[in-house]
Amino acid sequence: MKSRFKALLVKKDGNAQTVEDVELSPSDLMDGDVTVAVSHSTVNYKDGLVLTGRSPVVRKFPMIPGIDLAGTVEESSNPNFKPGDKVILNGFGLSETHFGGYSELARVKGDWLVPLPKNMTAAQAMAIGTAGYTAMLCVMAIEDAGVTPAKGAVVVTGAAGGVGSVAVAVLAKLGYRVIASTGRPEEEAYLKALGAAEIIPRAELAADPRPLGKERWAGGVDSVGSKTLANVIASTSYGGAVAACGLAGGMDLPTSVAPFILRGISLIGIDSVQLPQPRRRQAWERLARDLDLKKLESMTTTIPLSGVRQAAADILGGKVRGRLVVEV
């Protein structure tokens, strides 16, 4: 194990937040029963909030940010993991209350870790990251609610982003007709290459919502919230289901009970942070099987740890297409 390692550290002095490049020793790490040599991380929307300080995600300072990590076990007192094991970690308070993935070493609880699927590299796992893993949870949720390809189309909002890109690719591979909503018309070719059958402009779903609209889709995957989610709900067909996992457009939801009591639709909330292990592992197994890794490569950009600050600003500004992998 390295006696010194590099990391990013978020500090706060009063209302001023800074992000610094630091060098630490293993004794600086938090408690845990597994130490991981981190090879890759990623930049999600939540990471953007942490690094810019735009939202009070961090609850303990100083903090190593990065809500995802992948790497190799170096030390373990957990019976489920041994040195040399390849592992993934998403959520469980990383970057909020526990040091995260923007660090060459991480000490964590073994109960948080998922084994890296055999047909996947650490870089591919982080190309998926929390965003892609959340997208898979959304797909599983609408499947469980009875939304099949035969029932009709599925709409994906924020389609060119991390969650959206993976959702489009997975749903298309599973045989769904995917309607992709995006505010970036220049990404039409990219989205169609991922499998989208139809592209609709973001503005179409951003207007003031009506209680009920024309039935347009059997299900939805929404990472935007606010008016967009309300409009998705209003146009979901009888017995359909919408999975909600994000708030890029706002935390409010200006809808009514009409779609729920007149069309019997379901709104399913998706949490990826504290999800129990059985469902978590199922999602990663499904990703290994149901996500085309060539499509994953086409939606992925790799950056060094030094590029994370700029990436954080870009992802909040809606300038990032697909997924960002960080080579730690």
For 278: left if phi > 0, alpha if psi spans -120 to 50, otherwise beta; the answer is alpha
Prediction pTM value = 0.92
Is the pLDDT score of 14 beyond 90?
no
Mean pLDDT of the chain: 96
For 85-139, how does the pLDDT look when each residue is reduced to its tens digit (9 = 90+)? 999 999 999 999 999 999 999 999 999 999 999 999 999 999 999 999 999 999 9
| Number of residues that this document lists for the chain | 328
Is the pLDDT score of 148 beyond 90?
yes
The CATH classification number of 129-269 equals: 3.40.50.720
Is the pLDDT score of 298 beyond 90?
yes
Superfamily of the domain at 5-116+297-327? Medium-chain alcohol dehydrogenases, catalytic domain (3.90.180.10)
Q: How confident is residue 56, by pLDDT bands cut at 50, 70 and 90?
A: confident
pLDDT at 55: 84
pLDDT at 1: 83
Arithmetic mean of pLDDT, 4-25: 94
Arithmetic mean of pLDDT, 63-91: 97
As a whole number of Å, the end-to-end CA separation of the chain is: 16
Q: Of all residues in the chain, what percent carry a pLDDT higher than 90?
A: 95
Q: Of all residues in the chain, what percent carry a pLDDT higher than 70?
A: 100
> Distance between CA atoms of 324 and 301, rounded to whole angstroms?
5
For 244-289, how does the pLDDT look when each residue is reduced to its tens digit (9 = 90+)? 999 999 999 999 999 999 999 999 999 999 999 999 999 999 999 9
pLDDT at 224: 96
Give the contacts of 257 (CB within 8 A, at least 6 positions apart): none
Is the pLDDT score of 54 beyond 90?
no
pLDDT at 15: 84
**What's the gap between Cα 319 and its chain centre?**
16
Do you find a cis peptide bond into 117, omega within 30 degrees of 0? no
> Distance between CA atoms of 51 and 28, rounded to whole angstroms?
21
pLDDT at 98: 98
> Distance between CA atoms of 98 and 61, rounded to whole angstroms?
10
> Distance between CA atoms of 53 and 297, rounded to whole angstroms?
30
> Distance between CA atoms of 207 and 186, rounded to whole angstroms?
21
Is the pLDDT score of 47 beyond 90?
yes
What are the boundaries of each domain within the chain?
A: 5-116+297-327, 129-269
